[in-house]
Structure 1
Amino acid sequence: MTSLRERRRNETRRAVQAHAIRLFVEVGYDATTVEDVAKAAGVSAMTVYRHFATKEDLVLYDEYDPLTAAALLARPEHEPVVQRIGRALVDTAAAATGPHHADQALLLARLRLMISTPALRARHLDSQYATQSAIVAALCGPSPDPDEELPVRCAAAACLGAAHVALVRWAENDGQDDLPALIGTSLTHAFGIPF
């Protein structure tokens, strides 16, 4: 259970990010400053930096890695690692875009910004690596044997690559597709097995 302080911190983080995304869409990423975001959110620039270390983080930050790790651990251990990771990514997408999830429009706007803004595309690779590492840690522990880690990291990178193709397609289609199904289809095309 989270404390009142942590809930307020999370609410502030979500509000700042929502204002940032709105400004980036309306005014442009490069034309919007952190000070503009702070003013729109009704907080100081220091508060923005307390929650987001960089301007790029205002777009890239999310809490999906812990959801993916939990989904991985909930999958049957006997599943092949590619299916286990792929199905966890589908489950995470379902949690992020379900009918009761209010942040679907924010996710769509974030993806469009990541696709269209060169600085964000470059930083997105760092985010992908962090997600790979979260998957490896969930499946192999915090200090895995290199021989155990390599196949899991390869599977994670391949699954994330297929999921990325689906996310781009989803953003290009204005979020009209069912994202979990689209990720499942992309994974099936990549690996030739059902997801």
Structure 2
Amino acid sequence: MAATTRPSPGDALATSQPRPGLRERKKLKTRIAIRRATYRLIAEQGYEATTVEQIAEAAEVSPSTVFRYFPTKEDIVLTDDYDPIMESELRARPADEDPLESLRKVLTQSLATFIQEERDEVVQRTRLMVEVPAVRARMTETMSTTSELLVRALADRTGRDHDDLEVRVLTAAVLGALREVMLYWAARDHEDDLIELVDHGLSTIQNGLRL
């Protein structure tokens, strides 16, 4: 049977953003190659046994190139190219839509695309979040970058300042719920429907904890 080629995050990015120049496309291609090499090596020999030098060799780049794109090994596991997509989609949501509903739509649609295109990567990433404390700790740090992008987009849509407390709190609550849902999903061997779990988690923020 002939192998099929799945779309990559780069393909999704290209459909939602203006086509980048040659230099940016080369950078994206390199980032994807490094990530895929990392996940392949981790699947074969485990997280701790996988070194940056091995990753560089598998991705056919130098170790310095790996570090130029990803400051730590944890960043290779956690970084993807969906943040610009989510920011763009959030800005495109209807102006009169409830902010929490806008975030719900953007997150669930982005996750659905990610799972469809890169399910194995999502499963491996979330498993490492549960099993490797360094990955879990770094995840909390890297989420701050996503938060800043979404805060700016949400603030602009609602006519508020970028440092508005309510906007920051809402965004942080949503991303915190997403983090816990991902850990819960992985801890249960990825048996549940992730999108339904995310939707349930955001409904908890909206409705509160029912007694």
Bucket of the pairwise TM-score, normalised by the shorter protein: 0.7 to 0.9
* Residue among 148, 151, 165 paired with 1:150: 165
User: 1:111: how far off?
Assistant: 1.6
For the Cα contact (< 8 Å) 1:112–1:171, is it kept in 2? yes
- What is the alpha-carbon distance in structure 2 between the residues aligned to residue 164 and residue 17 of structure 1? 21
User: 1:35: how far off?
Assistant: 0.5
Letter in structure 2 aligned against 1:107: V
For the Cα contact (< 8 Å) 1:87–1:184, is it kept in 2? no
Deviations 1:127-160, CA, capped at 9 Å, x for gaps? 121111111111225xx637x6211111111111
* TM, length-normalised to structure 1: 0.84
Mapping 1:1-195, distance limit 5 Å? 1-98=19-116, 101=117, 103-141=118-156, 145=161, 149-192=164-207
For the Cα contact (< 8 Å) 1:71–1:92, is it kept in 2? no
User: 1:173: how far off?
Assistant: 4.2
For the Cα contact (< 8 Å) 1:71–1:91, is it kept in 2? no
Letter in structure 2 aligned against 1:105: D
Q: Secondary structure at the match of 1:7?
A: helix
* TM, length-normalised to structure 2: 0.78
For the Cα contact (< 8 Å) 1:19–1:41, is it kept in 2? yes
- What is the alpha-carbon distance in structure 2 between the residues aligned to residue 47 and residue 177 of structure 1? 38
Greater shift, 70-79 or 117-126, is seen at: 70-79
Q: Secondary structure at the match of 2:49?
A: coil
User: 1:184: how far off?
Assistant: 0.9
- What is the alpha-carbon distance in structure 2 between the residues aligned to residue 25 and residue 172 of structure 1? 18
Greater shift, 55-64 or 174-183, is seen at: 174-183
Cα 1:124–1:157, aligned 2, differ >3 Å: closer, same or farther?
same
Letter in structure 1 aligned against 2:130: I
Q: Taking every aligned residue pair, what percent have the same amino acid on both sides?
A: 39
User: 1:95: how far off?
Assistant: 2.2
Letter in structure 1 aligned against 2:187: E
User: 1:44: how far off?
Assistant: 1.6
C-alpha RMSD over aligned residues: 2.2
Paired residues in the alignment total 187
Structure 1, unaligned runs of 5 or more: none
